[in-house]
Structure 1
Amino acid sequence: MIKPYRILPRIAQLLAYAYSALIVGYLILRLIFWDRLWLIALAGDFVPWIFLPIFLLPILGFLIVKKRRFAIVSSVACICLLGWLHVTYFSPQPANISDSQPSIKVFSLNIGWHTKSPQALVDLILSEKPDLICLQEIKEHYAKEVFSKLAALYPYHQGRGYHVILSRYPIRSFQTLQLAGGNEPQERAIIEMNQQDVVLYNISTTPPWFRRRKILPFLTIPVYEYGNRPAQIQDLVWRLQKETLPVIAAGDFNFTEQSQDYYYLRAVMQDAFRTAGLGFGFTFPHGWELNLLVKQLNWKLTFPLVRLDYVWYSQHWGAKSAQVLPAIDSEHLPIEAELRLQPESGRV
């Protein structure tokens, strides 16, 4: 008869070694392939969650595995993880810019097609009073109702359906884009803010999803694909590099901070939440139906797991604050950032 007190430590030891091997394997493959390998891209989307069990390894190492080398290595890994979490997520560095410089508050939300009533959105906007509002995946009749209820505060708006922009300031020009020729529409507008022209991009890219792929004549597996998103991000980066005015890009970018596309964009723009926000900043999913993945599940996810929504800004700006706002009737959480023009930007 197998005694539980003997087999449980063996199982714990096996799990600890297997998890450690998976983490090391992920880091090596990420260094080599990054998003070119879909398994690494998928794992990268959930890195903060995947890394959390590292904190259990020293406990297992000292109390159950009882291998000195494993305990020491896992303890060092814990210290490194704590340092990475602190520097990356819990050390905001908002810009130290004089209050005399012009500032602008940007609000962004992917509404989602299932949203029933705009009143919660209207109430949130009236409470936060942003200067620029970028909305994605909004129905035309919904947009008209929002326009009518906010007309007094936001007399300028562009777009009728899917993507819309509302502004306190005059919109001097407006252009609908299709980055990399994809199906997702985007928008570019020039806003006149106190005699300073500002470029605003309202962005939504192709969302990644699981699709069935036949790898053998008798075997089909689900594969994580992100479609046109890399090409769309490259197109956006190319456009941003040509801009000479102060630029803001807000919206649902459909990537996380660990994706390769995030780093391509970060090479030319700055992430407002990562600069001036505190915490992970997860925005998706909220109220997401799990039967989209498994038909037998009738549950809803009400706790966001990843960050897909961003406010980006060019070197002309500094980020004073950034936050994720309370949930309304949408699968995404709203985000907001306050930006202030750098003194040397002047009038462009």
Structure 2
Amino acid sequence: MKKAASLIEKVAFAINILVAFFLLITCLSSYLNFQIIPIFSALSLFVPFLFILNFLFMIYWVFKRKRKLFLSLLALVIGYLGFGPFYKMGDETKKAQSNDLTIMSYNVWGFNKNEWIKEPNIGNKIISFIKKEDPDIVCIQEHSRIRYKQLSQYPYRSETPQLSPRTIQAIFSKYPIIGNGSLELPNTVNNIIYADILLGKDTVRVYNLHLQSFSIVPKAETLSNGEESEKNYKRLVSTFAKQLEQAKFFAEHIEKSPYTNIVCGDFNNTQFSNVYKIVKGDMQDTFLEKGDGFGRTYNLLGFPLRIDYIFAEPKVEIVSHKNFDEKLSDHYPVMATLRLKSHQ
């Protein structure tokens, strides 16, 4: 019996070492602007699972009264310090002022034009939702040009150029747009657009990002064993490499922006990735500042992931952040209330 118990502990510790290593190497990889080994980029999708597994191993060794618990404890501490929280208890929101700016980011999945959601009038329900929340600025990914007439409360808009062979993005604004542009990311249908928006005496540049898509539906069948699984793994690796290239492209562009910057969009990647860190730079993540819960904007195999974001420069005060539970797309919308320091 003692030999069997000893063997079980050795096997458990071997697995523990592997799980702790994966968490630590994924944490390290998130700070690099290149891929060490492609699979480490893919692991960024599963960081919450790695945290849970390390926590369970730590509890197991505590129960066994073994010093082996310190391996997972160390991995958890380093992971938390490196990644930050993926669950927020909710910070107290400040009282909104009339001159605060509300901004929403929403991947609307083409307003369900392909009827992926088998319910009637999904597109109109999305429009009704936006009208109800009534943000000052709306950044839409996977837009449909014909819908702009339904958003008549926004007199200003900027969209992906008509002749650009890309998924359509749009920025709708209640404030004048005095300049706009498209980054025209190379070799992809995804893209980044921006609009320079006049807020009284201030001008802010709002970026709307839609980074490289996976082009697979993350279900158990698509990740099952066999040839299909191998194809999907290669597609994941290729997608992460492309996202990294796009993040660097964006970082070079925003560095030259003459205005206060706000960044919205669907990154198709988690906060545990180097893609997230490169795009974020020294900006504030509105969820980390004022969010609550997991901040879920997408479900992966039923697990909540945060892949849609709103960032703002440090000179912008984050008043509030809200995640919505509207199942009208494969993504869930997010909205933040911001206050420019000049408006305080």
Question: In the aligned structure 2, how far is the partner of 1:274 from the partner of 1:331?
Answer: 23
Conserved 8 A contact 2:286-2:320? yes
Partner of 2:105: 108
> How many Å separate the matches in 2 of 1:256 and 1:155?
33
Q: Secondary structure at the match of 2:272?
A: coil
2: distance between equivalents of 1:185 and 1:281? 24
Larger radius of gyration: 1
Report the alpha carbon displacement of residue 84 of structure 1 after superposing the two structures with TM: 8.2
| 162 and 240 in structure 1: CA distance in 2 versus 1, 3 angstrom threshold | same
Matched residue, 1:257? 271
Q: Distance in 1 between matches of 2:83 and 2:311?
A: 21
Preserved CA contact (<8 Å) 2:111 2:144: no
Amino acid corresponding to residue 125 of structure 1 in structure 2: I
The equivalent position to 1:18 in structure 2, one of 8, 14, 17, is 14
Q: Which piece of structure 1 moves more, 267-276 or 245-254?
A: 267-276
Q: Is 1:148 paired with 2:149?
A: yes
Post-superposition shift, 1:11? 7.7
Provide, for residues 290-340 of structure 1, a one-character-per-residue CA deviation record: whole Å limited to 9, x for no partner.
xxxxxxxxxxx5x35322111111233121111211123211111111111
Q: In the alignment, what sits opposite 1:294? A: none
In structure 1, give the amino acid aligned to 2:88: F
CA distance in 2, matches of 1:255, 1:39: 14
- More divergent stretch after superposition (263-272 vs 77-86): 77-86
Q: 1:257 to 1:14 in 2, by over 3 A?
A: same
CA gap of 1:74–1:27, structure 2 versus 1, over 3 A, is: closer
Matched, 1:41 2:41: yes
Residue 298 of structure 2 aligns to a residue whose secondary structure is coil
Matches within 5 A, 1:1-348: 13=9, 16-27=12-23, 29-30=25-26, 35-63=35-63, 66=64, 68-71=66-69, 74=72, 89-90=87-88, 102-113=99-110, 115=112, 116=115, 117-140=122-145, 144-145=146-147, 147-151=148-152, 153-159=153-159, 162-180=168-186, 182-208=188-214, 222-223=233-234, 224-225=237-238, 226-285=240-299, 301=301, 303-343=302-342
- Note the aligned Cα RMSD (angstroms): 3.4
Report if the CA contact (8 A) 1:61-1:74 is conserved: no
**Helix, strand or coil at the partner of 1:69:** coil
Greater strand proportion: 1
* Distance verdict in 2 for CA 1:94–1:84, change over 3 Å: farther
Contact 2:190–2:213 (CA<8 Å) still a contact in 1?
no
Find the aligned partners of 1:86 and 1:260 in 2 and give their Cα distance: 13
Task: Specify whether residues 28 and 163 from structure 1 end up closer, same or farther in structure 2 by C-alpha distance, changes over 3 A only.
Answer: closer
Spell out, residue by residue over 1:86-134, the C-alpha distance to the aligned partner (whole angstroms, 9 max, x if none).
Answer: 85643666797x9668421111111124714322212221221111001
Unmatched tracts of structure 2, length 5 or more: 116-121, 217-229
Identity of aligned residues (%): 23
Deviation of 1:60 (Å): 2.5
TM-score calculated relative to the size of structure 2: 0.76
Gap regions ≥5 residues in structure 1: 211-219, 287-300
Residues 117-171 of structure 1 deviation map (CA, whole Å, 9 limit, x = unaligned): 322212221221111001111233xxx23x22321x2222232771112111122
User: Aligned with 2:277: secondary structure?
Assistant: helix
